[in-house]
């Protein structure tokens, strides 16, 4: 029989740490979520409105009580407005991330900040794609031009669509969006418009609201794309890299510093500082064997992809990392950082270090990360960690011995490289049926569902049925921990996909990076569609976010649907109180943009949904099923 910990997570390290948390009487997200039960039914259905002070208003789903808010807004209006605000929240996160990177690239081009233009090949490719002149120009000039084009996409106040979107997306997609009037102009403009439309007494039409949701989500997609492309220019395009994953990557004999959050501007520098001889020496003087940096969440994915830094865990493991008693410092920037971390950290010697002006946490130590003095800032942060080593209570250290080998670094460039320079071998494999289709698995963890179970189980089901799986975010960390990111996972595949993986020496689940790197998947989809001469919705492809929780995931999912891809959600979105909105998301969207949402918490059934969708697309393309 499953123990109570096995019911909460399929991950062994997590089970052990949850037991440990109980023994130590320390609450984590798992317990705090339990304390929230039962969660408010109105909220779960999305029919609570607090957008003005005549409210809060609720709609009675059983029709015994009010069917309209005080202003007359009905269930669908309220649900649509709430979802639009979630999309705005997610888009704001990605666009702030991307704009931050663009500013640093702009300054790096002028040598105002200590960041390099590392990947000139990528710089050239991006410049050519968006039409920035390169002939006879220095790399600094080209980088400045690219950064200015990106910043223009974030400041455009005209009706012109975003330049990066027009340059990167297939013509057929652009025409579809143009016809619907949803070509995004600028994520800052679109998110402000979300707030305007949803404030009291503006947009009440759920269809009109959801169309703006698509437009905003497309601007989110372009923001992620800009973030990824510019990060590749600054830090290098990921190449195949070996590493390890799970809490067992922490070392009992070393200073452990965890980087957590999203923007690699900070984590790249922290890793560099920690690896410097100066800091390693400092650590040895403090009695440690050296400094071990490990990642949590997406910034972990970023430094894994480019530097091979091991992954300590995904969203629901952030507090568990601190619970090992072996973490000297957890350095965070923005997004997905639980305020509860300070409670756990206060039980140990761990210093939680916030670094960004927009993300401070009561109880944490704030050490500002200043880009113009990035190396110094990073050294100060690492030093703070090293200083904590002697305060570690060795008797309370408990590092689970779970640690799994993995391979990451699958940028589009790496994948094309592994295929011998073109997408043709992949297209041939899809045509022959050796690879039945491609699925993008992404997204968070959520205590509403068993940790990592949906992520891993769906991936295993798909590869068994010859679906090549690519993915990002906390899904990617789950898949790595489950051993699905090693070439020997080919043994878990159907004969077709297994054969392809063995021939190429690649895993059947490809780590494509952080959540902003979902844009790598969009670029791959666009390239595949262009190479075959079809539109993205015609491809035998699907997406899934089995354990999503973040507003960013709402923006990402809506963007993927806008790209024309069927997307399975494993946790139920807060929309079911609005029948029209639910119908738009799960049916009408397909007629408009080619993609739609399917809600299916069971990963076995989710696999069936994806397989039958992929087969129907194969059939329409005249491929054997
Ligand atoms: O951007 S998958 S929990 S870490 S939101 Fe957050 Fe979700 Fe993880 Fe990354 Ni993405
Ligand atoms: Fe109530 Fe309307 Fe105000 Fe929302 S906007 S709180 S539904 S009165």
Q: What is the pLDDT of residues 380-395, one digit of tens each?
A: 999 999 999 999 999 9
Is the four-CA dihedral 310, 311, 317, 322 of positive or negative sign? Answer: positive
Q: Which atom of ligand 2 is nearest to the CA of 200?
A: 5
The ranges of the chain annotated as CATH 3.40.50.2030 are: 247-396, 411-546+601-620
Task: Determine the pLDDT at residue 329.
Answer: 98
Instruction: Find out if CATH 3.20.20.10 is the number for domain 75-235.
Output: no
C-alpha 111 – ligand 1 centre gap (Å): 32
State the Cα–Cα distance between residues 210 and 603, nearest whole angstrom: 27
List pLDDT tens digits, range 249-305: 999 999 999 999 999 999 999 999 999 999 999 999 999 999 999 999 999 999 999
Task: Determine the pLDDT at residue 157.
Answer: 95
List pLDDT tens digits, range 334-392: 999 999 999 999 999 999 999 999 999 999 999 999 999 999 999 999 999 999 999 99
Q: Which atom of ligand 1 is nearest to the CA of 556?
A: 10
Task: Determine the pLDDT at residue 434.
Answer: 97
Task: Determine the pLDDT at residue 439.
Answer: 98
Q: What residues form DSSP beta bridges with 295? A: 259, 311
Class of 247-396 per CATH?
alpha beta
497 CB neighbour count, 10 Å cutoff: 24
The mean of the pLDDT values for the chain is 98
List pLDDT tens digits, range 432-485: 999 999 999 999 999 999 999 999 999 999 999 999 999 999 999 999 999 999
List pLDDT tens digits, range 136-186: 999 999 999 999 999 999 999 999 999 999 999 999 999 999 999 999 999
Q: Is the minimum distance from the CB of 444 to ligand 1 under 6 angstroms?
A: yes
Confidence of residue 60 (pLDDT cuts 50, 70, 90): very high
Task: Determine the pLDDT at residue 2.
Answer: 81
What average pLDDT does this structure show over 2-10? 95
Taking the CA of 515 as reference, the closest ligand is 1
What average pLDDT does this structure show over 402-407? 98
40: exposed, middle or buried (C-beta count within 10 Å: 0-12, 13-18, 19+)?
A: exposed
The answer to whether 181 and 146 have CB atoms below 8 angstroms apart is no
pLDDT at 1 over 80: no
Task: Determine the pLDDT at residue 232.
Answer: 98
Question: How many residues are present in the chain?
Answer: 625
C-alpha 53 – ligand 1 centre gap (Å): 32
615: exposed, middle or buried (C-beta count within 10 Å: 0-12, 13-18, 19+)?
A: middle
C-alpha 196 – ligand 2 centre gap (Å): 14
Q: Which atom of ligand 2 is nearest to the CA of 77?
A: 7
What average pLDDT does this structure show over 1-27? 96
The ranges of the chain annotated as CATH 1.20.1270.30 are: 75-235
Confidence of residue 586 (pLDDT cuts 50, 70, 90): very high
- Report the share of the chain in percent with pLDDT over 90: 99
- Tell me, which fold does domain 411-546+601-620 have in CATH? Rossmann fold (3.40.50)
C-alpha 68 – ligand 2 centre gap (Å): 9
* CB environment 427-438: b (16+ within 10 A), e (fewer): eebbeeebbbbb
Three-state helix/strand/coil letters over 477-529: HHHHHCCCCCHHHHHHCCHHHHHHHHHHCCCCEEEEECCCCHHHHHHHHHHHH
List pLDDT tens digits, range 175-228: 999 999 999 999 999 999 999 999 999 999 999 999 999 999 999 999 999 999
Q: Is the minimum distance from the CB of 69 to ligand 2 under 6 angstroms?
A: yes
């Amino acid at each position: 029989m499953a123990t109570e910990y096995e019911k909460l997570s399929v991950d062994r390290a997590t089970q052990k740490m949850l037991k440990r948390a109980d023994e130590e009487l320390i609450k984590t997200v798992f317990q705090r979520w339990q304390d929230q039960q039962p969660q408010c039914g109105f909220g779960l259905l999305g029919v609570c409105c607090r957008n003005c002070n005549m409210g809060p208003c609720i709609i009675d789903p059983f029709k015994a009580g009010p069917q309209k808010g005080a202003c007359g807004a009905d269930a669908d209006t309220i649900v649509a407005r709430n979802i639009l605000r979630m999309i705005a929240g997610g888009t704001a996160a990605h666009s702030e991330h991307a704009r931050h990177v663009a500013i640093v690239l702009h300054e790096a081009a002028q040598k105002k900040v200590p960041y390099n233009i590392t990947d000139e090949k990528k710089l050239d490719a991006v410049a050519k794609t968006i039409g920035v002149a390169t002939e006879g120009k220095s790399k600094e000039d080209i980088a400045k031009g690219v950064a200015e084009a990106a910043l223009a996409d974030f400041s455009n106040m005209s009706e012109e669509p975003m330049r990066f979107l027009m340059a990167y997306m297939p013509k057929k997609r652009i025409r579809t969006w143009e016809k619907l009037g949803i070509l995004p102009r600028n994520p800052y403009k679109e998110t402000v418009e979300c707030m305007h439309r949803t404030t009291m007494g503006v947009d009440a039409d759920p269809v009109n609201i959801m169309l703006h949701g698509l437009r905003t989500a497309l601007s989110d997609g372009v923001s992620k794309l800009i973030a990824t492309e510019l990060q590749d220019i600054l830090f290098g395009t990921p190449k195949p890299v070996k590493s390890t994953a799970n809490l067992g990557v922490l070392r009992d004999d070393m200073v452990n510093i965890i980087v957590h959050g999203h923007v690699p501007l900070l984590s790249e520098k922290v890793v560099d500082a920690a690896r410097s001889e100066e800091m390693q020496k400092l650590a040895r003087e403090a009695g440690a064997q050296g400094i071990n940096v490990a990642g949590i969440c997406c910034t972990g994915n970023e430094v894994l992809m480019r530097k091979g830094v091991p992954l300590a865990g995904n969203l629901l493991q952030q507090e568990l990392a601190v619970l090992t008693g072996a973490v000297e410092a957890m350095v965070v920037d923005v997004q997905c950082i639980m305020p509860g971390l300070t409670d756990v950290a206060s039980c140990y010697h761990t210093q939680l270090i916030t670094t960004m002006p927009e993300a401070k946490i009561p109880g944490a130590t704030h050490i500002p990360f200043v880009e113009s003095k990035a190396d110094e800032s990073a050294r100060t942060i690492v030093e703070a960690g090293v200083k904590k080593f002697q305060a570690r209570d060795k008797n309370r250290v408990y590092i689970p011995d779970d640690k799994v080998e993995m391979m990451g670094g699958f940028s589009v460039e790496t994948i094309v490289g592994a295929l011998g320079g073109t997408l043709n071998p992949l297209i041939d494999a899809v045509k022959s049926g050796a690879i039945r289709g491609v699925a993008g698995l992404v997204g968070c963890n959520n205590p509403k569902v068993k940790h990592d179970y949906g992520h891993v189980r769906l991936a295993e089901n798909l590869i068994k049925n010859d679906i090549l799986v690519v993915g990002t975010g906390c899904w990617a960390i789950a898949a790595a921990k489950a051993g699905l990111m090693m070439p020997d996972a080919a043994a878990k595949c159907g004969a077709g996909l297994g054969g392809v993986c063995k021939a190429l020496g690649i895993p059947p689940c490809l780590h494509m990076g952080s959540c902003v790197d979902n844009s790598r998947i969009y670029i791959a989809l666009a390239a595949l569609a262009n190479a075959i001469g079809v539109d993205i919705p015609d491809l035998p492809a699907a997406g899934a976010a089995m354990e999503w929780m973040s507003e960013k995931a709402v923006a990402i999912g809506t963007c993927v649907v806008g790209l024309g891809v069927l997307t399975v959600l494993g946790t139920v979105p807060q929309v079911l109180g609005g029948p029209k909105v639910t119908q738009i998301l799960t049916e009408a969207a397909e007629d408009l943009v080619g993609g739609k949402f399917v809600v299916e918490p069971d990963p076995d059934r989710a696999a069936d949904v994806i397989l039958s969708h992929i087969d129907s697309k194969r059939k329409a393309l005249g491929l054997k099923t």
